[in-house]
Amino acid sequence: MSLLDEVERLDEFRWRIPRRVREGMRVPGVVFASRQLLEQAALDGALEQVVNVAYLPGIVGASLAMPDIHWGYGFPIGGVAAMDRADGVVSPGGVGYDISCGVRLVRSCLQQSEVKARIHELAQELARVIPKGLGAKGRLGLNRRELEDVLRHGAPRLIAGGIGWEEDLEYIEEQGAHRGADPGKVSERAFERGAGQVGTLGSGNHFLEVQAVQEVYDQEAARGFGLFEGQVVVMIHSGSRGLGHQVATDYIKIMDRVVQRKHISLPDRQLVCAPVESSEGSDYLAAMACAANFALCNREAMTHFARQAFSSVFGRSPQELGMSLLYDVSHNLAKPERHEVEGRERDVVVHRKGATRAFAPGRPEVPAAYRHLGQPVLIPGDMGRYSFVLTGLESGMVRSFGSTCHGAGRRMSRHQAKRTVHGEELKRRLQEQGIVVMAGRMQELSEEAPEAYKDVEEIVEVCEGAGLSKRVARLKPMAVLKG
């Protein structure tokens, strides 16, 4: 009998993998998906990874998977798991290599009609001021001491130096600085790889898009978020670049030794972990916070450069153009949080890998201006269709530790996409749709073809149907910058 045959349907959008499926599971698995998305997850092995995560010491509630689930390192991408802080573990595979990869959305007062006439000029200026691609170097030229300050203090330190706006901090997760960051827990190799990369877009699925608000679903929330139909906005999706990748690499090796020394039984060696309260667990969380601060600064710097580009093209200051930050949220983190589990409040470390925090109205972590609406959730789609702004729901706090999807989710591997789509042909096709594309390498552009991804509208409909988040607005790409 296949694993898919063992899955129990809870309702239209929730599926349970019972503990009886595998001896050693500490909790059941719960997958938020349509039947079609569930079957796709079974095909690439992601459901097996949901089961594997359920073996981790200290896991509470359930091993969860969002509808954009697909196979990843250790945890599935789209995996969520909460570990008890007292007797649970932290696992780098539950965060991923691109620590604090995330999304931010910058508003403007510009209308789609006035930007459309100058979209080519704007795209070229954005490409000029924002370095992109695998080996891209940034324009800030931070020295070692300045980089250490960025890792320890996050976006406030960058803004104090004139990069970004003070008011941005209110609308960045953790107010732009993750607590507990200690650069002393970051290796020299990680410093070397991160040097010069603050303010760079990177490659792969990272992007900067100029978008237009195409449709509003919730007028009250849209007004509260400062969104209106026809409005031009900027979405930035990037992470911690080489520094975060190296932090993950370093601590996976360290925790492999912990697993062997403590005889922790795991179904997959990619789930290496250490007790949250151990020295290795604490060190990882301190280094992860540094990488997260790096990622926040990276997106803040790109916001600064994007504002300059808009100002240059439209001849008005960024303030006159209304280029304020709506929100910035990460989707690759392990975060100490407090949640209700089986009827009582518990301190846990929530691993979200390819999953976005989506806190409900009233939570103190939500910016005061949005607290009556819930936390903004930013969900990028593929570059040929659309992206979404959502908001968190109270039901999601109980069902998913306040988590929802993070994007469309791949349905084709990068290699398969490159074999299927030619970069130049894809660029022409997108331009025929009115989408300007600025890409460093056509080969990498083909990896990100729209057909390589699931339909993000189906993903967010599942999240809404499952009570994790609700739609506020849909955004349509006008111009795309890719590495």
Give dist(CA 442, CA 436) in Å, integer: 14
The torsion of the CA quartet 17, 21, 23, 25, rounded to 10 degrees, works out to 0
Give dist(CA 298, CA 460) in Å, integer: 27
Under DSSP, the state recorded for 264 is -
Catalytic, out of 237, 406, 415, 422: 406
Helix boundaries (H) for 218-274: 219-225, 241-262
Nearest to 15 by CA among 200, 26, 36: 36
353, exposed or middle or buried, with CB in 10 Å at 0-12, 13-18, 19+?
A: buried
Give dist(CA 220, CA 211) in Å, integer: 21
344, exposed or middle or buried, with CB in 10 Å at 0-12, 13-18, 19+?
A: exposed
Nearest to 178 by CA among 194, 147, 198, 154: 154
Contacts of 235 (CB under 8 A, 6+ apart): 103, 104, 105, 106, 207, 208, 209, 211, 378, 380, 387, 475
Give dist(CA 129, CA 302) in Å, integer: 9
- Asked if 406 is an active-site residue, the reply is yes
Tokens found for residue 298: 């990276």
Helix crossing, 119-129 with 279-314: angle to 10°?
Answer: 140
CA distances from 37 to 32, 43, 44, 452, 467 (A): 9, 10, 11, 15, 17
322, exposed or middle or buried, with CB in 10 Å at 0-12, 13-18, 19+?
A: middle
Give dist(CA 67, CA 87) in Å, integer: 29
Give buried/exposed letters for 270-309 (b at 16+ CB in 10 A, else e).
bbbbbbbebebbbbbbbbbbbbbbbbbbbbbbbbbbbbbb
Tokens found for residue 447: 């990896």
Would you name the residues annotated as active-site residues?
Answer: 406
